[in-house]
């Protein structure tokens, strides 16, 4: 555990990618095999289930530290991370020379998951009492959740590739899909043979960068294929061995969440893997042609995510389809090395032969000049799309985010000028700075809050706003400060939908601060009517 805590410390504070890679490679060449498997699991989002919840953790910490609850909360707001707060508050440990390995803690946590609370508590307290402060931090972090500590899955894959001398794309594929860190050995995980056993295993996704230059620099339009860029969840649909699996890009198995797809199990041939978008689309029976796609706002899809049991009402109001745009496996063969244009022919053949409302084909946009495409792009929003995807017709399907063959060409975001009315301290690297803001537009003489935004300012600007908040707080509600409505910001967002959960009646998609309008006063901001107009135009 000590070695892992050191690794996390280095990854968390290092500001250079190369140092992080070196630290990971060092770990992969020196740690024991079982720990390595767990590190791969953790950094690819395969954390074990919570054996204890956050409330239990902090209650036990308070018992040991003998602090009142309110004081713990104050500390939490100053630190901005529960695992770290607890590590800082626990009384000094009894120093122990022996450090148990990482896998011991993780596997014990799994084994006691269903046991009595007393047993789980005893294990947590015993562990705390023999750990150094950095070990306690990572231990708590493993229990409480998202292990975001400044390293991407990509860096982990690259470091591992370097250590075991395999190509990163091979590693990415081998560690994808369904595997149990407790039952998988390091050698098995990286061996070729495991692929045949796991029918659910997805391919690593190929991701596009946003195009920065003029599209004209891409060369001849005839070499490129254009599609609408959909705002759903990127997904992979797999039919193998008579079974159907649907993965999200976050590598969550989502098959059971979308019963609409279950019928496809009988229609799709075996040995087929499709890449596409999970979308709420208008029932295509209302449109005459099967290949037309009219997606509804992302907000509707959100009503379906995170729900285990889907009601009939939801199925009618927010029916989910899979909008396919690529074919990765056909007749059991990996198709990723063939050209896109050939994959597309096969894809169209499959989707058309099935002709089922749950499986749509992402249509191609015909165009002959870049100007023509630019005009079409400006209508993206009317198509329910957020821009255009450009893919080279002779591109192979690569691994991860790569430049060159695939580009996303998004439309400019919607923007609105708003005033900051509430501020709250941030988390992680922004703890103790006021960086989470709520914004309002005008409603007659009043202000009405309509969105929060957390990003888009530079560190320097955040520091300035933080100073403003500290000097201009009006009231205090727990961690939230109401602030004198004075600072005006341009808020950018990708979409807008009606919402009865928000006072303003609207919910925004991906809101962020576009820029600080120091040139504007609160009298010059937009109004609730402006928002409603946008909703009318783009939110239906």
Q: Max alpha carbon distance in the chain (Å)? A: 73
Round to whole Å and give the CA distance between 475 and 490: 25
Three-class secondary structure assignment of 320-338? EEEEEEEEEEECCEECCCC
Angle at 399 between CA 396 and CA 400, to 5 degrees: 130
Residue (81 or 291) nearer to another protein, CB: 81
Q: Is 456 left (phi over 0), alpha (psi -120 to 50) or beta?
A: left
What 3-state class would DSSP assign to 515?
strand
Round to whole Å and give the CA distance between 368 and 537: 29
Among 428, 474, 524, 536, binds another protein (CB under 8 A): 428
Instruction: Tally Cβ neighbours within 10 Å of residue 362.
Output: 25
Residue (19 or 529) nearer to another protein, CB: 19
Among 1, 5, 31, 79, binds another protein (CB under 8 A): 79
Helix (H) or strand (E) holding 405: strand 400-410
Scan residues 248-307 and list those touching another protein (CB under 8 A). none
Among 75, 263, 315, 354, binds another protein (CB under 8 A): 75
DSSP assigned state of 67 = -
Of 12-20, 331-339, 397-405, 503-511, the segment contacting another protein by CB under 8 A is: 12-20
Round to whole Å and give the CA distance between 274 and 322: 9
* Closest C-alpha to 493, from 521, 456, 442: 456
Among 4, 27, 39, 84, binds another protein (CB under 8 A): 84
CB–CB of 400/204 below 8 Å? yes
Among 433, 440, 453, 457, binds another protein (CB under 8 A): 433
Among 2, 50, 234, 430, binds another protein (CB under 8 A): 430
CB of 246 to another protein, least distance (A): 36
Residue (88 or 346) nearer to another protein, CB: 88
CB of 155 to another protein, least distance (A): 16
Does the protein bind another protein through residue 135 (CB under 8 A)?
A: no
CB–CB of 246/258 below 8 Å? yes
Instruction: Tally Cβ neighbours within 10 Å of residue 15.
Output: 7
Does the protein bind another protein through residue 15 (CB under 8 A)?
A: yes
Judged by CB under 8 A, the number of residues near another protein is 30
Among 3, 108, 431, 499, binds another protein (CB under 8 A): 431
Of 85-93, 99-107, 447-455, 494-502, the segment contacting another protein by CB under 8 A is: 85-93
Residues in contact with another protein, shown as a per-residue x/- string from 435 to 474 under the rule CB under 8 A: ------------------------x-------x-------
Does the protein bind another protein through residue 2 (CB under 8 A)?
A: no
CB of 432 to another protein, least distance (A): 7
Of 276-284, 424-432, 477-485, 493-501, the segment contacting another protein by CB under 8 A is: 424-432
Round to whole Å and give the CA distance between 36 and 27: 8
Among 2, 6, 50, 150, binds another protein (CB under 8 A): 150
Among 48, 80, 202, 232, binds another protein (CB under 8 A): 80
Of 65-73, 198-206, 235-243, 384-392, the segment contacting another protein by CB under 8 A is: 65-73
Of 80-88, 98-106, 163-171, 252-260, the segment contacting another protein by CB under 8 A is: 80-88
Scan residues 358-417 and list those touching another protein (CB under 8 A). none
CA atoms within 13 A on the CB side of 22: 7
| Tokens matching residue 172 | 């990415």
Residue (89 or 421) nearer to another protein, CB: 89
Scan residues 467-486 and list those touching another protein (CB under 8 A). 467
Residue (16 or 312) nearer to another protein, CB: 16
| Tokens matching residue 94 | 């009894």
CA-to-CA separations, 447 to 46, 208, 502, 527, in angstroms, rounded: 44, 40, 14, 9
What 3-state class would DSSP assign to 456?
coil
| Tokens matching residue 539 | 């939110």
Residue (9 or 153) nearer to another protein, CB: 9
Round to whole Å and give the CA distance between 325 and 322: 10
What 3-state class would DSSP assign to 63?
helix
Among 427, 484, 502, 517, binds another protein (CB under 8 A): 427
Round to whole Å and give the CA distance between 207 and 249: 10
CB of 6 to another protein, least distance (A): 13
Of 199-207, 402-410, 426-434, 508-516, the segment contacting another protein by CB under 8 A is: 426-434
| Tokens matching residue 260 | 């609409």
Among 34, 42, 58, 85, binds another protein (CB under 8 A): 85
Does the protein bind another protein through residue 68 (CB under 8 A)?
A: yes
CB of 429 to another protein, least distance (A): 4
| Tokens matching residue 166 | 């395999």
Does the protein bind another protein through residue 70 (CB under 8 A)?
A: yes
Of 79-87, 387-395, 410-418, 497-505, the segment contacting another protein by CB under 8 A is: 79-87
Give CA 288 to chain center in angstroms.
35
**How would DSSP label each residue in 340-399?**
HHHHHHHHHHHHHHH--TTEEE--B---SSHHHHHHHHTTGGGGTEEEEEEEETT----S
Round to whole Å and give the CA distance between 433 and 78: 9
Helix (H) or strand (E) holding 289: none
CB of 84 to another protein, least distance (A): 6
CB of 69 to another protein, least distance (A): 12
By the criterion CB under 8 A, which residues form the site for another protein?
A: 12-15, 65, 67-68, 70-71, 74-75, 78-81, 84-85, 88-89, 137, 150, 427-433, 459, 467
């Amino acid at each position: 555990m000590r070695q892992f805590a050191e690794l996390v410390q280095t990854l968390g504070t290092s500001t250079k990618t190369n140092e992080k890679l070196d630290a990971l490679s060092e770990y992969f060449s020196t740690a024991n095999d079982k720990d390595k498997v767990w590190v791969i699991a953790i950094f690819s989002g395969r954390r074990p289930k919570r054996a204890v919840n956050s409330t239990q953790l902090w209650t036990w910490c308070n018992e040991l530290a003998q602090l009142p609850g309110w004081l713990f909360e104050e500390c939490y707001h100053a630190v901005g991370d529960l695992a770290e707060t607890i590590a800082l508050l626990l009384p000094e440990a009894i120093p122990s020379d022996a450090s148990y390995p990482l896998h011991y803690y993780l596997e014990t946590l799994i084994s006691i998951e269903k046991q009595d609370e007393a047993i789980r508590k005893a294990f947590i307290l015993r562990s705390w009492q023999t750990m150094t402060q950095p070990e306690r931090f990572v231990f708590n972090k493993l229990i409480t959740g998202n292990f975001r500590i400044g390293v991407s899955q990509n860096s982990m894959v690259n470091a591992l590739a370097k250590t075991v001398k395999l190509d990163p794309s091979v590693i990415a594929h081998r560690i994808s899909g369904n595997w149990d860190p407790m039952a998988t050995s390091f050698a098995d995980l990286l061996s070729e043979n495991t692929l045949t056993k796991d029918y659910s295993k997805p391919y690593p996704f190929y991701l596009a960068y946003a195009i920065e230059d003029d599209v004209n620099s891409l060369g001849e339009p005839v070499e490129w294929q254009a599609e609408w860029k959909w705002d759903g969840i990127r997904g992979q649909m797999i039919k193998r061995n008579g079974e159907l699996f649907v993965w999200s890009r976050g590598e969550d198995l989502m098959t059971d969440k979308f019963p609409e797809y279950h019928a496809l199990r009988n229609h799709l041939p075996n040995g087929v893997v499709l890449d596409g978008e999970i979308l709420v689309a208008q029932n295509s029976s209302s449109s005459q042609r099967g290949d037309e796609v009219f997606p509804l706002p992302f907000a509707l899809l959100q009503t379906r995510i995170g729900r285990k049991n889907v009601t009939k009402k939801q199925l009618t109001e927010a029916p989910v389809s899979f909008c396919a745009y690529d074919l990765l496996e056909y007749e059991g063969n990996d198709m990723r090395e063939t050209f896109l244009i050939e994959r597309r022919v096969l894809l169209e053949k499959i989707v058309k032969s099935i002709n089922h409302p749950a499986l749509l084909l992402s249509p191609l946009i015909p165009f002959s000049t870049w100007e023509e495409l630019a005009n079409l792009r400006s209508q993206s929003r009317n198509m329910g799309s957020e821009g255009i995807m450009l893919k080279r017709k002779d591109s192979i399907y690569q691994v991860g985010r790569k430049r060159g063959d695939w580009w996303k060409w998004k439309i400019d975001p919607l923007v609105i000028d708003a005033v900051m009315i509430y501020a709250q301290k941030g988390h992680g690297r922004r703890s103790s700075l006021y960086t989470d803001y709520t914004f309002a537009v005008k409603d007659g003489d009043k202000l009405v809050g309509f969105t929060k935004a957390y990003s888009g300012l530079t560190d320097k600007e955040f520091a300035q706003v933080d100073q403003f908040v500290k000097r201009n707080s009006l009231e205090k509600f727990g961690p939230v400060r109401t602030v004198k409505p004075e600072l005006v910001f341009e808020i950018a967002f990708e979409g807008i939908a009606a919402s009865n959960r928000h006072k303003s009646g609207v919910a925004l998609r991906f809101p962020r601060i576009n820029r600080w309008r120091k040139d504007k006063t609160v009298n010059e901001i937009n109004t609730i009517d402006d928002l409603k107009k946008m909703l009318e135009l783009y939110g239906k």
